[in-house]
Amino acid sequence: MIKEEVPRSAARVARRRFLTLTGAATAVAFATNLPGGSTANAGTGSLPDDPFTLGVASGDPLPEAVVIWTRLAPRPYEPLGGMPYHAVSVQWQVATDERFRRIVRSGTASAKPEYSYSVHVDVRGLEPGRHYWYRFKVGRYLSPVGRTRTAPAPWQRVDQLSFAVASCQSWPDGYYTAHRHIAAEDVDAVLFLGDYLYEYGISTAGGLRYVTEPVPSQFRTEADTLDRYRLQYALYKSDPDLQAAHQNAPWISTWDDHEVQDNYANLTSRTNAPVEDFLVRRASAYRAYWEHMPLRTPAPRGPNYMLYRRLRFGRLAEVSVLDTRQYRSDQADGDGWKVDSAVRRDPARVLAGAQQRQWLLDGVRGSHATWNLLANQVIMSRMDLDPTAGNLYNMDAWDGYGAEQQQVLDGLAALRGRNPVVLTGDVHAAYALDMKRDFADPASQTFGVELVATSISSGGNGQEVSANGQKFLDGNPHLKLVNERRGYIVVRLRQHELRADYRVVPYIDRIGAPISTVKSFVVEAGNPGLNPV
């Protein structure tokens, strides 16, 4: 049963006011407050149009720092976004108020052609646990104003935190209405768990959105080169709802497979391309990802990039961000849904890899936070598609790597007192699962929970529960929710409990869908398990 939407709080009304005010109302102040007034910076040349077509973003908040991002692209579907081929000076400001009456940090960054004119400023010297506003300027052009928030200090006792959890946003599948609603949520950060884009070409028959928003012919082919990945990001980031979600809260992001290629595994491509060729593609994909996300420098150099990392939010929460693509072994038994096998359980096959696995468990073990959130791409809990005698597992998820899966689950079970909460994307459906010491025994001890966010758009409008979704419910008693509409989760943390609100929209084939809470759960600190509310 879908619950009625609650009225917007004063904070949400204030946020909407912020969206309308911070464009035109601060333009004059921007021109006079920035160094050099309204005079064009050296190196800007004559830009053909407004370069801030892809919006602004912030990310990876620390207690004293946050990354602010933009990319100059006056003509985003042209090579290098239509920019002149030389470095361009970009001025930036950070203030404690949305009208920039109190500017606390400012400077100049260089947007370079080799990084597709992306700008990543790691703003330091900020105060913990507070909101800031930021903006950019090139010549006479002013960016939209972004709103961000630093993390609380590591030692600080925090009363509450909130995160939006989202993943999977295929552009042609439908509109990003869910992102517009995320922008209106009063969250401390957005956790985006992979498939920020899909590498597929967009054909004249491709998807719901294409009917009303056809794209140029250069989007017909699959993204597999640096220029083509950059084009795909430009298309996705041109969406106003996605820009709004970036503009209103810092993002903590990780990738899954489609940022490179569907179901790739480390050096193995879906098309069995030669390793040396696939490494070139992977390097291009990783470079383009970094260019378009609010991540810290340095940029990836070659086909490797250290993406897994940990962020602390006072004594209330730690977020361990995983990378389950770059280090994994090839999927067992040719990928797909397969019956149990010795290959699936082979200890030599890994998903996270020994180094990342040890980093994860050591981090949770040493954590002083009440809640330990794992920002994870693919389902970690056991999920059997076949409720009869024959177990049927997804070879692309943790189930396909049975030995390492068990090592991680056993490790987290031993750390039950650290309140582990796995946050997952990938499957285009909302799931809520109790994590069990023995998934085959419903009476087995619960040591944590896994909250799976449905997609923003991938899969089209969706439905409440499909035939396969019902199979999951029938065959997995630890599974407490299946919903296959589009949306996200809002996770609210307090010292004594976690609340997860599963938020969905009824359609994405047209704009304007309302948001509703389809189900809510509470998890008690020190007493793992999903309690419906």
Rounded CA gap, 76 and 53, in Å? 7
pLDDT at 184: 98
Question: Tokens 């300027």 correspond to what residue?
Answer: 137
Rounded CA gap, 47 and 82, in Å? 9
Beta bridge partners of 405: none
Torsion of CA 419, 425, 426, 428, to 10 degrees: 120
Residues in the chain: 533
CA angle 528, 411, 252 (to 5 degrees): 75
Question: Tokens 């209405």 correspond to what residue?
Answer: 177
Answer yes or no: is pLDDT of 52 > 50.
Answer: yes
415: left (phi over 0), alpha (psi -120 to 50) or beta: alpha
In the predicted model, what is the mean pLDDT of residues 125-131?
98
Answering whether pTM is above 0.75, one says yes
Q: What is the pLDDT of residues 163-205, one digit of tens each?
A: 999 999 999 999 999 999 999 999 999 999 999 999 999 875 6
Answer yes or no: is pLDDT of 5 > 60.
Answer: no
Torsion of CA 206, 211, 213, 215, to 10 degrees: 40
Q: Are 379 and 431 in contact (CB under 8 A)?
A: yes
pLDDT at 206: 58
pLDDT at 205: 61
What six digits make up the tokens of 189? 């950060």
Q: What is the pLDDT of residues 362-407, one digit of tens each?
A: 999 999 999 999 999 999 999 998 877 678 999 999 999 999 999 9
HEC readout, 218-243: HHCCCCCCHHHHHHHHHHHHCCHHHH
**Which strand (E) or helix (H) includes residue 92?**
strand 88-95
HEC readout, 412-477: HHHCHHHCEEEEECCCCCEEEEEEECCCCCCCCCEEEEEEECCCCCCCCCEECCCHHHHHHHHHCC
Name which of 33-47, 251-265, 425-439 the model is least confident about: 33-47
Distances (CA, A) of 300 to 57, 76, 288: 19, 22, 9
Please tell me the number of Cα atoms within 13 Å of 116 on its side-chain side. Answer: 29
What six digits make up the tokens of 279? 């490494």
Rounded CA gap, 384 and 184, in Å? 36
At 79, is the pLDDT very low, low, confident or very high (cuts 50, 70, 90)?
Answer: confident
Smallest Cα–Cα separation from 313: which of 262, 352, 367? 367
Q: What is the pLDDT of residues 266-300, one digit of tens each?
A: 999 999 999 999 999 999 999 999 999 999 999 99
**265 CB-near residues (< 8 Å, 6+ apart):** 325, 328, 329, 330, 331
